[in-house]
Amino acid sequence: MDPSLGPSMSPTSEPIRRAIHKSARHALSTYVKGKRVVGLGSGSTIAILVKELSRLDYKKEINFVTSSLQIEVEAEKAGLRIVDASRFFTLEVILDGADQIDREFNMIKGGGGALMKEKILISAAKKVVIMADYTKFVKKLTRPIPIEVHRFARPLLMNRIKELGGKPKLRTTEKGYPYITENGNLILDTSFNNTGNVLTRKTQLKSIPGVLEVGLFSRADIYYKAKNDGSFEVINPNE
């Protein structure tokens, strides 16, 4: 995968790492303790959260549903109880990261390729908690939007997306092979000169046959913003 499109697997700033660890501990004590079914998103920030989970004495009391193999492996190492999503219709809370968050709290997610499972789990969660460092918070969404597509529809979709003003690029691995999601699909990382109304853009893209999911996400319930001075901020967009 093009490293400019995917999330960094480990935040490089030590103060940011400290802030993420602190915010993870706060989120766990506030939103996870006492819960029975918890969803875990993907990415470097959630990997840090899992390390904090490994230290909890009540971790065996919680059933965890993961959105990616990456976090499933990390969770297994941490001794967490991983369960199949089909066993539960509702998650009490999901903790996830984001690639970019605008001032209206719309998000771009899917840099790691797990957008479909993340969106499914988010739709099943009573509360959505997003954890990200301060660089992910921006005025307007500017990153390419990951679009998960069926491989059979790729040529058609490339043209249809271009008709909407998009510039789709097939995501590839470091060796140049097409990147395949855990669901067996392809991802088109698509740039737009103007994302415009996020809901409208998402609806346009989802209406094209062969588009399985779009990496545009609506606002969450709570955001944790890790800062470069080692502190963090908790943001409730509904207040």
Residues carrying an active site annotation: 118
Q: Which residue has the tokens 């789709």?
A: 168
User: Do residues 138 and 108 lie in contact, with contact meaning Cβ atoms separated by under 8 Å?
Assistant: no
Residue 236: half-sphere exposure toward Cβ, Cα within 13 Å: 3
DSSP 99: S
